[in-house]
Amino acid sequence: MVLQAFSAPGKALLAGGYLVLDPEYNSYVTALSSRMHCVFDSHPSENELKSIVSILSPQFAYGKWVYEVGSNSDSKDRIDSVDVHQIEGPSNPFVESVIRVITAYVGGSDIQKFGDDILITIFLDPEYHTRDGAQAQTSSNGKRQFLYHQEDITSVPKTGLGSSAGLVTVLTAALAQIYIKKSDIDIPLDLIHNLAQIAHCYAQGKIGSGFDVAAAVYGSIKYRRFDPELIADVIDGAKSVAETANREWNFGHQVVLLPPRVRLVMGDIKGGSNTPKLVSLVLNWKNSKPSESDVVYEKLNNANELLIASLQALNALHEENPELYDEMMDYFSQLTQLQTHWYLGFNDNLKERYLAMLGLISAIRSIRSQMRTMTRLSAASIEPIPQTFLLNQLAAQVPGCIGGVVPGAGGYDAVALLVVTSKEASGPLALPLEPEVEHRVSMLQLREEAQGLKPEDVKNYTGLL
Ligand SMILES: Nc1ncnc2c1ncn2[C@@H]1O[C@H](COP(=O)(O)OP(=O)(O)O)[C@@H](O)[C@H]1O
Ligand SMILES: C[C@@](O)(CCOP(=O)(O)OP(=O)(O)O)CC(=O)O
C-alpha cells in the first residue's frame, strides 16, 4: 500500500455546553485550523492471520505503542472479542480502543481478513499543548511545523482542543482504509464517525456527548447528539460493532460556517478546569432543582438557537447582498465595547438593516448571562467572576469584538471571541491588549478551518517520519 495521510480538526464548542449532553438540544461547534494528523502505510504480514500494528507519536517521549492483532476464531464481532495484545509501550486507551473497534467491525462483517502489518505516525499541530520548552521541527518541504516535547503525552499540559477526539478520528480513518476499504469506493464518512464515537466512548469508559468527535469528522457544525443507548449496547456486548456502526444514527451534523469576516480568536487561560466535575455539579443541580433548571435550560437553548440562526442568516446575507454585508461588517469592525454599547444610537432603520448581526450579538450576551445564572445556581464555576472580567476587558480592548464566551464546559480553560475584521485582514489579527490582560491569557495561533476529516499530501511530513 502507498503512504497516505489524513488530518482532522480540533474544536471549540461555542454554544451548547451541558445542553449538548441531551439529544433534545442543538449545539454549535467550530472546527479549528489546529489539526491532528496521521501518516500510514501497510505491508503484507508474514503470518496472514496476524497483524502487527505500530503507532508512533514522535512529538512525545515514549510515543510508541505496538499491538499484535490476531484472527483465528469465528466470533470476532463484539467490541472486546478480537485478540489484541499490546507488545510494546505504555498504555494508551485511545489507540487500543480504535484497534479493537475496527478489528471487531471487520471480524463481524467479514469484509477483509487481517494479515497486514501497519505503521501509523501521529502528529499534532502546536496549539494543542503549551509550548514550554518544546523544540520545533519543520517538514522538508517547509509546509508543516510541529513541536517536540520532552515529556510523555500524558504529562504535557493541554489547551483543550480535543486531542483524543482528533486522534481517534484519524486513526479510525487510517485503519478503516486498510482493513475495510474495498476497491476504489470511499468509506462513508458516517461509518468513520460511528466507529470513532464508539472507540472514543469505549476508551473513556463513558458515553460523552460526542461533539468533539463529530467536529473532528464533519468540521464546523450544528450538532445534536446520538442516542447514548446505541453505544451502550455495543459496550456491554448486547450488539456487535458492525450492527451498530452500520445503522442510521439519527443525529444532527449540519454544516454551519462562521460567516465571512467573522474571525474566531481563542485564548488559553493560565489555570484549567475539570470538565467531569463541572458536568457532575450541573447535572446534580438539574436533577435536584428541575423547575429552576428547566427555566435556565430553556433560555439558554433559545440563545444557542439564536446564535446558530444568526450565523446562518449572516452567511445567507453575504450570498444575497454582499454590498450590504460589507457595509455592515465595515461598521462593526471599527467598534469596541460592543458588549455594552452596541445598541446605542441605532434607529429602527439601522436595526432592520443589521438585524442578523444584532441577533448574533444579543445571542452571545444572552448565552453569557444564562451561563452566569447556571454558575450561581449550580455552584459549577462555568463563567466565574474572573472570566467575566476578562471577557469584558477583551471585548473592550479588541476592535470589532462582537462578543466572547467561555467555550465548552467553561471554567478556567479558555476564552473564545468572535471578531469582525476589516475586509483586507487575512493574516493573524493584531490584538492591542493591555499588559494586565496579556499576562492572563495567551492567544492561540489558530482560526476556524471548517473542514473536517480530510486526506493530506504525504510530502508535508517528509523529513519527520
Ligand atoms: N498525539 C498523540 N499521540 C498519542 N496519543 C495521543 C495524542 N494525542 C492525544 N492522545 C491520547 O489522548 C489522551 C488525551 O485525551 P484527553 O485527556 O481526553 O484529552 P483531550 O481533552 O485533549 O481529548 C492522551 O493521554 C493520549 O492517550
Ligand atoms: C460540558 C460539555 O457539554 C462540554 C465540554 O466541552 P469542553 O470543550 O470543555 O470539553 P473537554 O475538551 O472534554 O474538556 C460536556 C460534553 O459535552 O461532553
| Residues 60-113 pLDDT 10s | 999 999 999 876 555 568 888 888 899 999 999 999 999 999 989 987 444 345
Report whether residue 408 contacts ligand 2, using a CB cutoff of 6 Å.
yes
Percent of the chain exceeding pLDDT 90 equals 80
Question: Do strands 135-138 and 4-15 pair parallel, antiparallel, or not at all (unpaired)?
Answer: unpaired
Q: Which of 14, 94, 275, 383 to mutate to test the pocket of ligand 2 (most atoms within 8 A of CB)?
A: 275
Beta bridge partners of 53: 67, 118
Closest atom, ligand 2, to C-alpha of 162? 12
**Distance spanning both ends of the chain, measured CA to CA:** 17
Checking if the pLDDT of 335 tops 90, the result is no
Interval between CA 276 and ligand 2 midpoint (Å)? 8
Global pTM value: 0.96
Instruction: State residue 245's pLDDT score.
Output: 96
Region of residue 345 (phi > 0: left; psi between -120 and 50: alpha; otherwise: beta): left
Least confident among 174-188, 288-302, 393-407? 174-188
Q: Are strands 116-124 and 50-56 parallel, antiparallel or unpaired?
A: parallel
Q: Which residue has the least CA distance to atom 13 on ligand 2?
A: 275
Q: Which segments within 379-440 are labelled E, that is strand?
A: 401-405, 414-420
Distance 336 CA to ligand 1 centre (A): 38
What are the C-alpha distances in Å from 327 to residues 310, 353, 357?
A: 17, 10, 12
Residue 110: its pLDDT value, please?
44
* Amino acid type, 332: F
Probe residue for ligand 1, chosen from 55, 94, 172, 273 as the CB with the greatest number of ligand atoms within 8 Å: 94
For range 220-246, the mean pLDDT: 96
Mean pLDDT of 294-311: 98
Going by C-alpha positions, the residue among 394, 375, 367, 255 that lies closest to residue 307 is 367
Among 169-178, 182-191, 229-238, name the one with the lowest average pLDDT: 182-191
Q: Is the CB of 266 under 6 A from ligand 2?
A: no
Mean pLDDT of 297-322: 97
The C-alpha cell 456486548 sits at 237
Tens of pLDDT, residues 349-365? 777 888 999 999 999 99
**Which-ligand-closest: CA of 277?**
2
Report the pLDDT value the prediction gives residue 109, as an integer from 0 to 100: 45
Is residue 419 within 8 Å of residue 263, measured between CB atoms?
yes
Give the distance (Å) from ligand 1 centre to CA of residue 94: 7
- Tens-digit pLDDT profile for residues 10-61: 999 999 999 999 999 999 999 999 999 999 999 988 777 778 999 999 999 9
Residue 296, pLDDT score: 98
pLDDT at 459: 96
Residue 303 predicted with pLDDT over 70 = yes
Instruction: Identify the CA nearest to 66 among candidates 113, 99, 108.
Output: 99
The mean pLDDT of the chain is 92
Other residues' Cβ atoms within 10 Å of the Cβ of residue 276:
11
Residues sharing a CB contact under 8 Å with residue 452, sequence separation 6 or more, in sequence order: 8, 9, 31, 189, 215, 216, 217, 218, 219
Which residue in 202, 51, 165 sits closest to 113, CA to CA? 51
In this predicted structure, what is the pLDDT of residue 71? Answer: 63
User: What is the pLDDT, as a whole number, of residue 352?
Assistant: 81
Q: Round to whole Å and give the CA distance between 38 and 456.
A: 9
Residues making up the chain, counted from first to last:
465
Q: How confident is the model at residue 341 (pLDDT cuts 50, 70, 90)?
A: low
Assign 347 a pLDDT band (cuts: 50, 70, 90). Answer: confident
pLDDT in the model for residue 1: 78
- Phi, psi angle pair for 228, to nearest 5°: -55, -25
User: d(Cα 325, Cα 44) in Å, to the nearest integer?
Assistant: 56
Give the pLDDT of residue 348. Answer: 79
Please compute the mean of the pLDDT values over residues 153-171 and round it to a whole number: 96
pLDDT of 115 above 80 = no
Cell numbers given for 373:
445564572
- pLDDT of 397: 92
With a 6 A CB cut-off, is 275 part of the ligand 2 pocket? yes
Closest residue by Cα to atom 10, ligand 1, is: 164
Q: What is the ipTM of this complex?
A: 0.98
